[in-house]
Structure formats: C-alpha cells, structure tokens
Amino acid sequence: MTLRRVSSHVSLAVCAVAYLMALRPRLLRWGATAQECDEPFAGAEIIPQGVRSATMATTLPVPPTEVWPWVAQMGCGRAGWYSWDLIDNAGRPSARVIHPEWQHIAVGDRIAMTPSGRTSFVVAHCDAPHALVLRARLDGRGRACDPDTSLPAVGLDYLWAVELRDAPDGATRMVVSGYRVIRPLWLGRLGELLVGEVGHWVMQQRQFANLTRRVRQNQS
C-alpha cells in the first residue's frame, strides 16, 4: 500500500471518528434542550418497544393555535411538508397559506408520504393544537403492515411526531421526535448512520425555516 493510500485511509478514519464523536450527537439533538430530549415524547405508548429517534426543536414567534393549522394540513396531495419540495413533494411547492379544507384531521386518517400515495402515514394521535403523531408501519417493500400483526423480518414501525408547546412571550416551541422499531436491527442502524440521520436533519431544518417564514408572513 502506497503512502498516499495510507494517508487517505487515515484521513477518512479521522473524519469518521470526528463525525461520530462531535457532529452526530449535535445532529440528533439539534435545537432541543436536554429536557426536551430526555422526557417522554408524544406516542411513547404506541410503540412501547420503540427506540427514541432524533429530537429537534425550534421556536416560532406565534402561539400554538397559530402554528397548528400549518401542521394539520401537512402531507402529499395536501399542503406538502414545507421542506425540500423537490425531494418529498415531487417539486410541487408546499402551501404558503392556510387551507380550510385540510384542517380536519383525526386518528385513523391516512396522510400520503409520497406524491404517488403508495406509502402513507396513519394518524395515530391527534391533540389539537398541541400534538400530532403520524405512524408508518411498512414491510421491506414499503407496503403497509397491519398494526395487529407481528412486524416482518424486514420492516419498519415508525412514529414521527410534532409537539407544539407554549413558550414565553406568546411563542411556540415546536419539538419533533418519535420512536421506531427496525428489522433487522443491524440493517436499520447502518442505514440511519449512512443516510437516514443526516437526511432527516437536512429535511427537518428546512421545514423549521420554511414554517418560520410562513407564520411570520401570516402575522403581517
């Protein structure tokens, strides 16, 4: 092995260690306080054996009652996800106004995850204007699984939840987290480490930023 190759391998190893030790812990708790990360989160009882996923948070300059309508109308074929629309909404711009026709949301409703509608979240818990819990229970081919049956050998049971908490000066703490079970465990952890965690951080920060712009514009 040449000196150049050795140097390249060492550099990659150093970068990997730096990411795992310094950057990754920040990504998994981005914007959230220690209390927000450590206390039980909405939906904990739905997947009792689930592992807590990343917890991210931001402060929005309006009360929860003014943030909730934006959260309630999320979804493909609805308002979009307010994130990178080219990635999660087939390039269709997410809504910039509140749509009354998308405000009625209840447990059991299906919310399309993708523009094709092939994969959906199911509303597992809804407590307006404070919490919305979406559940995706899928097999290895992305097909929905019955929640009353065992998770397949290759499958995912995942909660993505939003909590809107009262903050000082009439603001809102928007905290996003959830719980998950992935099978096989090693494959799930590898996928999250290589793609899932960074991808989630990128999309979540974009959503936070876009929602901040929307609620501020709605104020003016």
Q: What is the pLDDT of residue 1?
A: 56
With b for 16 or more beta-carbon neighbours within 10 A and e for fewer, the 81-94 pattern comes to bbbbbeebbeeeeb
CB burial readout 161-170, b (16+ within 10 A) else e = bbbbeeeeee
User: What's the DSSP call for residue 196?
Assistant: I
Residue 173 has pLDDT above 70, yes or no: yes
Q: Is the pLDDT of residue 213 over 90?
A: yes
Secondary structure letter of residue 78 according to DSSP: T
User: What does the pLDDT read at residue 83?
Assistant: 96
CATH assignment of 28-219, among 1.50.10.10, 3.40.30.10, 3.40.140.10, 3.30.530.20: 3.30.530.20
**C-alpha–C-alpha distance, residues 186 and 193, integer Å:** 11
- The pLDDT of residue 220 is 55
* Mean pLDDT of all residues in 76-100: 95
For residue range 179-201, list pLDDT tens digits in order: 999 888 767 777 776 677 888 99
Quote the pLDDT of residue 154.
86
- The pair phi, psi for residue 150, each rounded to 5°, is -70, 145
Task: Domain ranges for the chain, please list them.
Answer: 28-219
CA distance 90 to 69: 22
Supply 147's token pair: 């929640």
Give pLDDT tens digits for 8-32.
Answer: 544 554 444 444 555 677 888 999 9
pLDDT of 19: 46
Q: Which residues make Cβ contacts (< 8 Å) with residue 208, sequence separation at least 6?
A: 31, 56, 58, 174
pTM: 0.87
pLDDT digits (tens, 9 = 90+) for 101-141: 999 999 999 999 888 878 899 999 999 999 999 999 988 77
Q: In the chain, pLDDT over 90 holds for what percent of residues?
A: 60
What confidence score (pLDDT) does residue 187 get? 73
Give me the pLDDT at residue 218, please: 79
Average pLDDT over the chain, rounded to an integer: 86
